[in-house]
Amino acid sequence: QSSVTLFGIVDTAFGYVDNANAAGDSVYGLSTSGNATSRLGFRGVEDLGGGLKAGFWLEGEIFGDDGNSKGFNFQRRSTVSLAGGFGEVRLGRDLTPGFSKFISYDLFGQVGIGQFMGWSNWYGTSGDANGIRSSNMISYYTPNFSGFTAGLGYGFDEQTSGKAGRYVGGYVAYENGPLGVVVSYDQRNLAADVDRNALTVAGSYNLNVVKLNAIVQQTKDDVPGASDRKVNAYALGASAPIGAGEVKAQYALYDQKAIDSKAHQISLGYVHNLSKRTALYGTVAYLKNKDASNLGLAARNLSTGGPGAGENQTGVQLGIRHSF
């Protein structure tokens, strides 16, 4: 009698990362979300007539390795929305409009050790400063006009003074046939008077045998009375179907201007589909930090840090993804 769709993914992987800290120790165990983010959600759409639809979406992350030891919530997405010929308006916590498009332009889908790490909490920031999601957001998505789409979001700061936490951003995309191009601009007010601005451009072209993807992103923190903190990040990838599977290779560069240091990342992955819903996968990633750069690979729920300034790190994930 209910109109709810219950859905989710459990993706758990054996993971290994060498140089997982500055002492050079390695770590291995179970990590989560190596190929797709583990999740549990409830969503539904109601037809209101006249082309109008109401919908809700509640989705939280699953940590299959420890059973969500920090508790379950709906911080992946919790929205109520109205959609029609005019597009869709959503209220609540959600992906920022731009990020929601870019996920498919990263060959590793913004998860696991192979992922492009441009959306990170650069320079000691935390939480939504990474630009991936916003709470207290009103967002608008246009209909699809022959491949053109756009989205806009405004996340309220809810402060009595100042505007720490405020988000505003949007994207424009053209996706038609083999070609896809997205441009987004996002701004978030970090604590105090620090603004973070991110300009991201991504494109993909499907040559049938091989699909090529690229991301170019500049993240810039405006810090009053100090020089800007800038990160220029780049990704270039290629994927190809092989039987029931897919191979993929991606190169990423993180040019951390504020510390005048670069990091290079090479990621190789193979996904073997057992069915539409279930896949086995393996990923290898190598991260080469230069000068003061101390980035680390992102193996979810496997506690790893940077390998130390200028040190390298290699990681492996072998896992299973099951959707329901």
Identify residues 242-301 at the interface with its own copies (CB under 8 A): 274-275, 277-278
End-to-end CA distance of the chain: 20
In the complex, minimum distance from the CB of residue 207 to its own copies, in angstroms, rounded to a whole number? 31
- Is-contact 140 169, C-beta < 8 A? no
In the complex, minimum distance from the CB of residue 14 to its own copies, in angstroms, rounded to a whole number? 7
d(CA 320, CA 64): 11
Cα 124–chain centre separation: 18
- Of 117 and 302, the one with the shorter C-beta distance to its own copies is 302
| Kind plus residue range of the DSSP H or E element containing 39 | strand 39-49
Interface with its own copies (CB under 8 A), residue from 33, 64, 189, 265: 64
Point out which span in 73-81, 117-125, 206-214, 244-252 binds its own copies (CB under 8 A). Answer: 73-81
- Match 């040559």 to its residue by tokens: 207
Cβ-based neighbour number of residue 216 at 10 Å? 17
- The token duo for 274 is 């057992």
Point out which span in 101-109, 155-163, 220-228, 245-253 binds its own copies (CB under 8 A). Answer: 155-163
Interface with its own copies (CB under 8 A), residue from 104, 135, 142, 197: 135
- Of 82 and 240, the one with the shorter C-beta distance to its own copies is 82
- Is-contact 143 137, C-beta < 8 A? no
Restricted to residues 77-116, the positions that interact with its own copies (CB under 8 A) are 77-80, 82, 91-93
Q: How many residues bind its own copies (CB under 8 A)?
A: 78
In the complex, minimum distance from the CB of residue 291 to its own copies, in angstroms, rounded to a whole number? 24
d(CA 233, CA 256): 8
d(CA 94, CA 138): 9
CA-based angle 226:197:97, to the nearest 5? Answer: 160
Polymer length in residues for the chain: 324
Examine residue 310 and tell whether it contacts its own copies (CB under 8 A): no
Examine residue 231 and tell whether it contacts its own copies (CB under 8 A): no
CA-based angle 183:184:186, to the nearest 5? Answer: 165
- Of 220 and 321, the one with the shorter C-beta distance to its own copies is 321
Examine residue 70 and tell whether it contacts its own copies (CB under 8 A): yes
Interface with its own copies (CB under 8 A), residue from 84, 104, 140, 156: 156
Examine residue 121 and tell whether it contacts its own copies (CB under 8 A): no
Examine residue 40 and tell whether it contacts its own copies (CB under 8 A): yes
Examine residue 60 and tell whether it contacts its own copies (CB under 8 A): yes
